[in-house]
Amino acid sequence: MACLAGASADLSRMVLETAKMLDREASTSESAAEIESCFDRLWPLHRSLTGEGVRRTHDILGEIVPLNRIEVPSGTVVFDWTVPKEWVVRQAYLVDPNGKRILDVADSNLHLVNYAVPFRGRLSRQELDAHLYSLPDQPDAVPYVTSYYQPRWGFCLSQRQRDALPDGEYQVLVDTDHIDGAMTISEAVLPGDTAQEVLISTYTCHPSMANNELSGPLAATFLARRIAGWRRRRLTYRFVFVPETIGAIAYLSLRGEHLKRHVAAGYVVTCVGLDQPFTYQRSQRHDTLADRAALHVLRSSALPHEVRDFHPTGSDERQYCSPGFDLPVGSLLRGPYTQYPEYHTSLDNKNLISFDALRGTIDLLEATCRALDVNATYRSLAPFGEPNLGKRGLYPSVGGKRANMDHRQRARATLWLVNQANGERDLLTIAQRSGMPLELLSDIAQECVDKGLFEISVDESKAGKE
Amino acid sequence: MACLAGASADLSRMVLETAKMLDREASTSESAAEIESCFDRLWPLHRSLTGEGVRRTHDILGEIVPLNRIEVPSGTVVFDWTVPKEWVVRQAYLVDPNGKRILDVADSNLHLVNYAVPFRGRLSRQELDAHLYSLPDQPDAVPYVTSYYQPRWGFCLSQRQRDALPDGEYQVLVDTDHIDGAMTISEAVLPGDTAQEVLISTYTCHPSMANNELSGPLAATFLARRIAGWRRRRLTYRFVFVPETIGAIAYLSLRGEHLKRHVAAGYVVTCVGLDQPFTYQRSQRHDTLADRAALHVLRSSALPHEVRDFHPTGSDERQYCSPGFDLPVGSLLRGPYTQYPEYHTSLDNKNLISFDALRGTIDLLEATCRALDVNATYRSLAPFGEPNLGKRGLYPSVGGKRANMDHRQRARATLWLVNQANGERDLLTIAQRSGMPLELLSDIAQECVDKGLFEISVDESKAGKE
Amino acid sequence: MACLAGASADLSRMVLETAKMLDREASTSESAAEIESCFDRLWPLHRSLTGEGVRRTHDILGEIVPLNRIEVPSGTVVFDWTVPKEWVVRQAYLVDPNGKRILDVADSNLHLVNYAVPFRGRLSRQELDAHLYSLPDQPDAVPYVTSYYQPRWGFCLSQRQRDALPDGEYQVLVDTDHIDGAMTISEAVLPGDTAQEVLISTYTCHPSMANNELSGPLAATFLARRIAGWRRRRLTYRFVFVPETIGAIAYLSLRGEHLKRHVAAGYVVTCVGLDQPFTYQRSQRHDTLADRAALHVLRSSALPHEVRDFHPTGSDERQYCSPGFDLPVGSLLRGPYTQYPEYHTSLDNKNLISFDALRGTIDLLEATCRALDVNATYRSLAPFGEPNLGKRGLYPSVGGKRANMDHRQRARATLWLVNQANGERDLLTIAQRSGMPLELLSDIAQECVDKGLFEISVDESKAGKE
């Protein structure tokens, strides 16, 4: 763990170095404490597919980076689905035979089955049992249970607490409602020099859990603030906050045609708060720009990581990679769902995650976005034989502003570039073949543009217009 | 060997399971005893490129599954070749110096060189020697010798018998004839819902030998009977019985244009009677549907097997994969020619083969045909985002007719299907990527068609019309 | 080393065998002594980018094979470059404080910095020091130093000699000139039956060094004489002798459009005189015909060798593989630049190289050219089923002119050919797949052409016309 924290620090340094080398400002980096403070405000909100808890969550995230709010009315048909009614929770608790109020949703929003229908009545301990959810194998954990599409009410509690419930009569109050309201979605679009987009998507429908899922929205939001602070963006960056599944589907019904034309690469960000190695899950087409960029950064950083193929049983990449869209969208994880025992329980809480690890995730995401942003495709305007680099001042001379660069490496990288810049290969491709750092190649390529030797090759197939 | 016989039993069970799961009838399966009984009737017939022995062979096979007989007249030009005269054998034997009749073709048809020209005369032991064929390294084996295109007569015997031949005068009678007759070919076409065909080709020109070659015709014939018994066939199945080389060439001259348009996959079936692991030989294009289906079944069954590349020095796949046709035709073997010492001798007899192994071959071929038959290509009609499986009843519920299926696996397979069914990937491709059983994918896909979620995508390039 | 010399002898034998088998004359092979004699004449000449030393070098090489001389005037613009002035060296030496003439260019042309500007004067030992070049790590080596594009004068000497220079006043004479002359290029084109070309390029700008670089021009020249002696050439062979970089660029400016249309394969030949394993460096597109042919010969010969990817920091392949041309040009080396310690010093001399090894290089190059020359693409005119080889006399019969061939192998190779000759696969492709010797395939294919079974398939994409 110490080792990984160290690696994360290395990554952070790499991002800074890159920014410095590119002669760009360092991004507006958040502290772990700032993330934690935001986490603490978001934690108690009663999130679900819909409702005020979600709106309040988006309000708080919107303080960090401005968000464009979209309210999709209940009943709206989105492709094969219909937006559900909005869920309203006023209060919900039991009163035990001793008159003690227990499992109060006001204490923990996990106690109430998500989307529970209203109920008011008195039940025996035995009658009540069919409405209780606990985990015998994890006797201290309160499970996270939803019932979005089947009308049902119920309470979640630890097995230990359940076993201790006395016999007798229980008073039940589930004061909820399902109203014609709306489903809340937010987006932030940071425009760049080109219409090509990087899509970052995360979800805000999970109540009080930490890794799955406050880590994703926090990472996405602070990443957005960093990128908003870049001096210049070649690409456009789009951040999407939706309830899982139905939200992504609704967003695609609103923006799908635009995304098909413009998304160059995208990532679903979820479960990124554990101090564990990264997991990169490929996009459906498994060798898209999204995959190449993320893997380039992971490999260059030498951080331990795992790569796995796309599979359609995960999160919202299922929607983005559905056959009608099949977008180049992968997924970054750091403690994947179902691979840690606290998943979908009350034990997935602040103690489990690391705010330093979360910053490391943001570093990695920013480095990946940097890689995408510099990954232009260049065409040499002197392609016949090697260009005369000396007369153009493109051979590094001792001293000067790049005196701290390794001259031999720069010369080699320059020769690779002028050989490979045929207007078809992007810099990631050249970096992979040559083994040269992407940032160095980008720096030289930009200098070649400045000196009239290269032009940027516009790939119409990627940068379509609406 | 016990192990392999066991594996074969497993395969048989797998085929049955598949049939059951697909809610189809089990095929009309033959017993080992029935195969053996058929073998015993075919064994003594005097087969060659042409002649009555071949006709009688096709008669007997035709009792198992109806065959369409084609007689190609001697002298017919088929591409670069001419159909040879028909060979007639009345009698052939020697009388040794002691007056004893020996090497009588009536005892074993291997004694006479195949296609021998007539001869009648008296020769000394020494003069006779140039007309004798034996194998010094296998002193008890009578070799199988042919001389189709060079006029010659001769007798085949064991080295031990040859060494014991006394000096003196021998009387020779080779009462044969080469007449303007015909070359006998048979075919059976089992029509299916589509014009796409599976081709099964085997040869019937070898006289009394068991693995090479009564095993192939027996396997093909009983396979045909099984498939004829299927309740439904998506594909059309074509079984071809020809003399090797010239017969396949003649068949191509008759049906080649049709086969080019319609054959989706095919297999040459030869040397399939030894209780040994299977050998799959790829088609010339080495990754055709024929290869993918056979290898899928071999791998799924976990049977030990060997895979080898196409090479044009084998059997009739040389003709089907010739550059003017280049059909997707592989070859299945179980004890390949030239890889067992009894090959092309009298030792390749009933003792060498196993009728249980032969049934295992038929099981494997049927499983491969099943795989081809279910291997449709589907297109989702709700490709934008994930379809709502719940409202369509496509999430398995506990109980019901599929209660014995693993629900989680079915749900995962369904998600794979709706993601991958883009109208281009066939089920074998999806099975390979997802690791899901082909039969399960097929079952779900069919349910999706029934519920209006999928349509079958017709690949015009494979299902051409004449 | 003995082992490698042996392998080289094997290669030589292989080439001879090939020639014999193809029923062609053995090539006009040079002896090691003849190469050495030529080396001795070339050694002292004062070569540089331009000048009389280069012209004299080309004169001597032109005695071995006729060369077409091209003089490109100083100041000519060639793509991004300008041909430099011609360098004239009349005399250059120092007189030490004892009146002794030292570092005289007449003793060794390495003593004078290449392209040094004129200077005449008296300097103290200390003032002189800024104009001296030596190698502290290799105290006995005189370094090879150039200053083509920066006006400078200087002397090169061993560190040992430098350390021994007495204090006092030195008299300096650098009697050089930079005149409006020309840069000397030579080419030899050996026409073949087709316009497709094999390009062999080497450079003649290095003064008195042996591996880098008299070995390349010697190998290329004697190779040219051998190929000129072939009875027949299917391909055209082009040999190019240029100064490195600027010369190749100038040549491309003269012949680039022609080369783009006609070069089927090419090799830069440099550093090929050490008795070491071969190194093959791939062309930029890394699987061109150049690569396939060279690697086929290296693998078939079973000589130890190393293969490395193209990299644009080497020799003139940088120019041929620049994006505007991207020709299929690899590089053959045997003791690559920068990988032996004597590189670019006076220690890279006759003692370092082996004339037997150099002959081995020529053998390998000739074998590669032979492979390219026989590597036609054939189309079977009887593609439907297997052709009747017997009636065409294409099955080898015992005896006859090819009695010493292995009949079984020839029959197998014939079957491979008739299966694979679809008018698209060249013989190298068929050799690789079948494992059959290229020469055998070529021999059979030619026989098939003679007997009307094959025709040569003309690939318009490679054999364009101007």
Asked if the C-beta of B136 comes within 8 angstroms of chain C's C-beta atoms, the answer is no
Q: Count how many pairs of residues, chain B against chain C, have C-beta atoms within 8 Å.
A: 62
| Same domain flag for C229 and C344 | yes
- How confident is the model over B48-69, as pLDDT tens digits? 999 999 999 999 999 999 999 9
pLDDT band at B21 (very low <50, low <70, confident <90, very high): very low
pTM of structure: 0.89
Number of domains in chain A: 3
CATH code (residue A434): 1.10.10.10
Among A238-252, B25-39, B408-422, C214-228, the least confident range: B25-39
Alpha-helix residue ranges (DSSP H) falling in B25-118: 32-42, 52-64
CATH code (residue B105): 3.50.30.90
Asked if the C-beta of C418 comes within 8 angstroms of chain B's C-beta atoms, the answer is yes
- Supply the pLDDT for residue B459: 59
- Segment holding A162, helix H or strand E: helix A159-163
β-strands C77-78, C132-133 pairing: unpaired
| Same domain flag for A203 and A162 | no
How close B385 gets to chain A, by Cα (Å)? 4
pLDDT > 60? residue C350: yes
Q: Quickly tell me which residue has 């299929």 as its tokens.
A: C328
Give yes or no for a contact between C428 and C287, defined as CB atoms under 8 angstroms apart.
no
- Segment holding A186, helix H or strand E: strand A182-190
| Same domain flag for C339 and C352 | yes
How close B324 gets to chain C, by Cα (Å)? 5
pLDDT > 60? residue B8: no
Q: Which chains border C (3 or more CB–CB pairs < 8 Å)?
A: A, B
Q: Among candidates C50, C412, C386, C392, which has minimal Cα distance to C247?
A: C50
> How far apart are the C-alpha atoms of A98 and A106, rounded to whole Å?
20
> How far apart are the C-alpha atoms of B47 and B109, rounded to whole Å?
8
Q: How big, in percent rounded to 5, are the helix, strand and coil portions of chain B?
A: 35, 20, 45
Reduced to 3 states, what is the DSSP secondary structure of residue B33?
Answer: helix
CATH code (residue C201): 3.40.630.10
Q: Which of C80, C149, C284 sits opposite A387 (nearest CB)?
A: C80
Q: Do A323 and B386 touch (CB under 8 A)?
A: no
Contacts of B256 in chain C (CB under 8 A): 384
Sign of CA pseudo-dihedral B291, B294, B295, B296: positive
Asked if the C-beta of B79 comes within 8 angstroms of chain C's C-beta atoms, the answer is yes
Neighbours of B436 (CB within 10 A): 21
Q: Do C313 and A412 touch (CB under 8 A)?
A: yes
- Supply the pLDDT for residue C393: 87
> How far apart are the C-alpha atoms of A308 and B219, rounded to whole Å?
43
Instruction: Single out the residue in C179, C206, C226 at which a domain terminates.
Output: C179
pLDDT, average across residues B436-445: 96
| Same domain flag for B262 and B164 | no
Asked if the C-beta of A256 comes within 8 angstroms of chain B's C-beta atoms, the answer is yes
- Supply the pLDDT for residue C339: 86
Q: Do A80 and B415 touch (CB under 8 A)?
A: no
> How far apart are the C-alpha atoms of A140 and B377, rounded to whole Å?
49
Q: Do B322 and C385 touch (CB under 8 A)?
A: yes
> How far apart are the C-alpha atoms of C213 and C352, rounded to whole Å?
12
Q: Do B412 and A322 touch (CB under 8 A)?
A: no
pLDDT band at A459 (very low <50, low <70, confident <90, very high): low
- Supply the pLDDT for residue C403: 40
If you count DSSP H runs as helices and E runs as strands, how many of each does chain A have, helices first?
13, 19
> How far apart are the C-alpha atoms of B44 and C116, rounded to whole Å?
97
| Same domain flag for B213 and B305 | yes
- Segment holding A123, helix H or strand E: strand A119-124
How many Å separate Cα A399 from the centre of its chain? 43
pLDDT, average across residues A98-102: 96
pLDDT, average across residues B288-300: 97
- Residue in chain B lying closest to C391 (CA): B81
- Residue in chain B lying closest to A320 (CA): B385
- Supply the pLDDT for residue A463: 41
> How far apart are the C-alpha atoms of C217 and C358, rounded to whole Å?
11
Q: Among candidates B195, B264, B197, B190, which has minimal Cα distance to B465?
A: B195
Among A85-89, A404-408, B171-175, the least confident range: A404-408
Asked if the C-beta of B318 comes within 8 angstroms of chain C's C-beta atoms, the answer is yes
- Residue in chain B lying closest to A83 (CA): B388
> pLDDT > 70: what percent of chain C?
90
Mutation target to probe the C interface, by most C beta carbons within 10 A, among B319, B322, B338 is B322
Asked if the C-beta of A284 comes within 8 angstroms of chain B's C-beta atoms, the answer is yes
- Supply the pLDDT for residue C404: 46
Reduced to 3 states, what is the DSSP secondary structure of residue B314?
Answer: coil
Contacts of B149 in chain C (CB under 8 A): 390
- Residue in chain A lying closest to C83 (CA): A388
| Same domain flag for A310 and A214 | yes
- Supply the pLDDT for residue B309: 96
Instruction: Single out the residue in C125, C152, C179 at which a domain terminates.
Output: C179
- Supply the pLDDT for residue B335: 82
Residue B16 tokens read as 């049955």
Asked if the C-beta of C78 comes within 8 angstroms of chain A's C-beta atoms, the answer is yes
Q: Do C384 and B248 touch (CB under 8 A)?
A: no
pLDDT, average across residues B422-450: 96
Q: What is the ipTM of this complex?
A: 0.90
Asked if the C-beta of A268 comes within 8 angstroms of chain B's C-beta atoms, the answer is no
pLDDT band at B342 (very low <50, low <70, confident <90, very high): very high
Name the more confident of B451 and C1: B451
- How confident is the model over A127-137, as pLDDT tens digits? 999 999 999 99
Mutation target to probe the B interface, by most B beta carbons within 10 A, among C386, C409, C412, C448 is C386
- Residue B227's alpha-carbon distances to B36, B39, B236, B264, B442, in angstroms, are 20, 20, 10, 17, 18
Asked if the C-beta of A386 comes within 8 angstroms of chain C's C-beta atoms, the answer is yes
Q: Which chains border B (3 or more CB–CB pairs < 8 Å)?
A: A, C
β-strands A155-156, A132-133 pairing: parallel
pLDDT band at A406 (very low <50, low <70, confident <90, very high): confident
pLDDT > 80? residue C232: yes
- Segment holding B17, helix H or strand E: helix B2-21
Name the more confident of B347 and A26: B347
| Same domain flag for A354 and A422 | no
- How confident is the model over A434-451, as pLDDT tens digits? 999 999 999 999 999 999
pLDDT > 90? residue A401: no
How close A420 gets to chain B, by Cα (Å)? 33
Q: Do B384 and A80 touch (CB under 8 A)?
A: yes
Q: Which residues contact A414 (CB under 8 A, 6 or more apart)?
A: A389, A394, A395, A444
Residue B259 tokens read as 């086969």
Domain that holds residue C167: 88-179
pLDDT > 80? residue C295: yes
If you count DSSP H runs as helices and E runs as strands, how many of each does chain B have, helices first?
13, 19
Contacts of A325 in chain B (CB under 8 A): 384-385
Q: Which of C149, C256, C284 sits opposite A384 (nearest CB)?
A: C256
| Same domain flag for A228 and A333 | yes
| Same domain flag for A398 and A286 | no
Q: Among candidates C70, C271, C47, which has minimal Cα distance to C187?
A: C70
- Supply the pLDDT for residue C11: 55
pLDDT > 60? residue C10: no
Contacts of C324 in chain A (CB under 8 A): 383-385
DSSP A138: S
Contacts of A309 in chain B (CB under 8 A): 433
pLDDT > 50? residue C6: no
Asked if the C-beta of C286 comes within 8 angstroms of chain A's C-beta atoms, the answer is no
Asked if the C-beta of B319 comes within 8 angstroms of chain C's C-beta atoms, the answer is yes
pLDDT band at C67 (very low <50, low <70, confident <90, very high): very high
- How confident is the model over C140-151, as pLDDT tens digits? 999 999 998 889
> How far apart are the C-alpha atoms of A221 and A188, rounded to whole Å?
9
Q: Do B325 and C388 touch (CB under 8 A)?
A: no
Asked if the C-beta of C146 comes within 8 angstroms of chain B's C-beta atoms, the answer is no
> How far apart are the C-alpha atoms of C89 and A130, rounded to whole Å?
104
Q: Do C252 and A387 touch (CB under 8 A)?
A: no
Mean pLDDT of chain B: 91
- Supply the pLDDT for residue B407: 83
> How far apart are the C-alpha atoms of A185 and C368, rounded to whole Å?
66
Which B residues in the span 428-447 are in contact with A, Cβ-Cβ below 8 Å? 433-434
| Same domain flag for C412 and C448 | yes
Contacts of B416 in chain A (CB under 8 A): 311-313
pLDDT > 90? residue B12: no
Mutation target to probe the A interface, by most A beta carbons within 10 A, among B377, B384, B412, B444 is B384
Give yes or no for a contact between B170 and B101, defined as CB atoms under 8 angstroms apart.
no
- How confident is the model over B116-156, as pLDDT tens digits? 999 999 999 999 999 999 999 999 999 999 998 889 999 99
pLDDT, average across residues A207-236: 96
> How far apart are the C-alpha atoms of B31 and A159, rounded to whole Å?
58
How close C103 gets to chain A, by Cα (Å)? 30
What would the DSSP string read from start to end of B378-439? EEES--SS---TTTTT-S--SSSTTTTS-HHHHHHHHHHHHHH-EEEEEHHHHHHHH---HH
| Same domain flag for A251 and A397 | no
Asked if the C-beta of A99 comes within 8 angstroms of chain C's C-beta atoms, the answer is no
Asked if the C-beta of B397 comes within 8 angstroms of chain A's C-beta atoms, the answer is no
Q: Which of B313, B318, B322 sits opposite C383 (nearest CB)?
A: B322
Q: Do C388 and B312 touch (CB under 8 A)?
A: no
What are the start-end ranges of the E strands in B59-168? Answer: 68-73, 77-78, 81-82, 86-95, 101-102, 119-124, 132-133, 155-156
| Same domain flag for B19 and B52 | yes
Name the more confident of C361 and C408: C361
pLDDT > 80? residue C405: no
Asked if the C-beta of B343 comes within 8 angstroms of chain A's C-beta atoms, the answer is no
- How confident is the model over C235-294, as pLDDT tens digits? 999 999 999 999 999 999 999 999 999 999 999 999 999 999 999 999 999 999 999 999
- Residue in chain C lying closest to A410 (CA): C313
pLDDT > 80? residue A398: no
Asked if the C-beta of C380 comes within 8 angstroms of chain B's C-beta atoms, the answer is yes
pLDDT band at B337 (very low <50, low <70, confident <90, very high): confident
- Supply the pLDDT for residue B10: 53
Neighbours of C152 (CB within 10 A): 15
Instruction: Single out the residue in A354, A374, A394 at which a domain terminates.
Output: A374
- Supply the pLDDT for residue A244: 96
Q: Quickly tell me which residue has 């990954």 as its tokens.
A: A375
Q: Among candidates C427, C428, C432, C429, which has minimal Cα distance to C449?
A: C427
- Supply the pLDDT for residue C12: 53
Give yes or no for a contact between B44 and B103, defined as CB atoms under 8 angstroms apart.
no
